[in-house]
Amino acid sequence: MTIESKLVAGNWKMNGMRADGAALARALVERAASAGDEIGCELLVCPPATLLETVGGVLAASGIALGGQDCHPASKGAYTGDISAEMLADLGCQYVILGHSERRHGYAETDALVRDKIQGARRADLVAILCVGETQSQRLAGDAVDVVASQLAGSMPDNADAANLVIAYEPVWAIGTGLTATTDDITAMHAEIRTRVPPGTRILYGGSVNPGNAGAILSLAEVDGALVGGASLNADDFWAIARSCPSPLP
Ligand code: PGA
């Protein structure tokens, strides 16, 4: 599979009431409609589960894809508070973010659990966005590549392929901090990741991507898109990031 365009994904995290989500989605749909074919990337938004139906309704036929932020490995059952990949697909999702550092660190999610969730996503025909990334102390100790390699080895199912998997390299120290990895470090890590994933797998960068740094990051040949947190909550900022994608691809 060849990578035909970059993917810019918004991770809204736990933000927004239905009216906020609808307004943000409407603002993106309006921009997408006026840009027509000019926008040189694919767009995805991942709202909280409570907003999926509302946002999905606004996005319908806009070309902007919808994704979830997590799912349970099983398709159904006695798992209070959880949501299955099938339920996300039923709401119109095409993607689901899995193994985000806020879940790995906040809920002690292991690589094995993340792998099971990715299998669940595959069963429901969702593309899994597998997040990996080192902490600041791991980078300072020179262990960044080993940490990411071990997360990939532990959480990527054997049957993963480029059609159902996207990798998001998100250094933990760069998420929500305003710090970003240097373009050299991003290129080096993405090249390492590329040797460990199925050919043609998109590799996104995430961690404080904003309109000011998106151009430099998204023009890197090794970067196939961005996973955007905070800046995706503002339509102008998210749109400016999307417009930073080189078009056509170099
Ligand atoms: P950030 O979040 O852009 O706010 O750093 C990125 C992410 O957590 O995916």
Catalytic residue set:
100, 170
Give the span between the Cα atoms of 119 and 113, in whole angstroms: 10
Does the Cβ of 207 fall within 6 Å of ligand 1? yes
Q: With DSSP H G I counted as helix, E B as strand and the rest as coil, what are the percentages for the chain, rounded to 5? A: 45, 15, 40
* Residue of the CA atom closest to atom 7 of ligand 1: 229
- Can you give the pLDDT of all 250 residues of the chain as single tens digits? 567 799 999 999 999 999 999 999 999 999 999 887 677 899 999 999 999 999 999 999 899 999 999 999 999 999 999 999 999 999 999 999 999 999 999 999 999 999 999 999 999 999 999 999 999 999 999 999 999 999 999 999 998 999 999 999 999 999 999 999 999 999 999 999 999 999 999 999 999 999 999 999 999 999 999 999 999 999 999 999 999 998 665 5
Query: From the alpha carbon of 97, which atom of ligand 1 is closest?
Result: 9
Which residue among 7, 8, 11, 213 is best mutated to probe the pocket of ligand 1, counting the most ligand atoms within 8 A of its Cβ? 11
Angle at 165 between CA 155 and CA 12, to 5 degrees: 90
Does the Cβ of 175 fall within 6 Å of ligand 1? yes
Give the span between the Cα atoms of 37 and 230, in whole angstroms: 26
pLDDT at position 40, please? 80
Does the Cβ of 227 fall within 6 Å of ligand 1? yes
Who contacts 196 (Cβ-Cβ below 8 Å, separation ≥6)? 149, 152, 153, 156
The Cα-based distances of 218 to 32, 67, 160, 226 in angstroms read: 19, 21, 25, 7
Q: How many angstroms is it from 29 CA to the middle of ligand 1?
A: 22
Does the Cβ of 101 fall within 6 Å of ligand 1? no
Q: How many angstroms is it from 220 CA to the middle of ligand 1?
A: 19
* Residue of the CA atom closest to atom 1 of ligand 1: 229
Query: From the alpha carbon of 230, which atom of ligand 1 is closest?
Result: 4
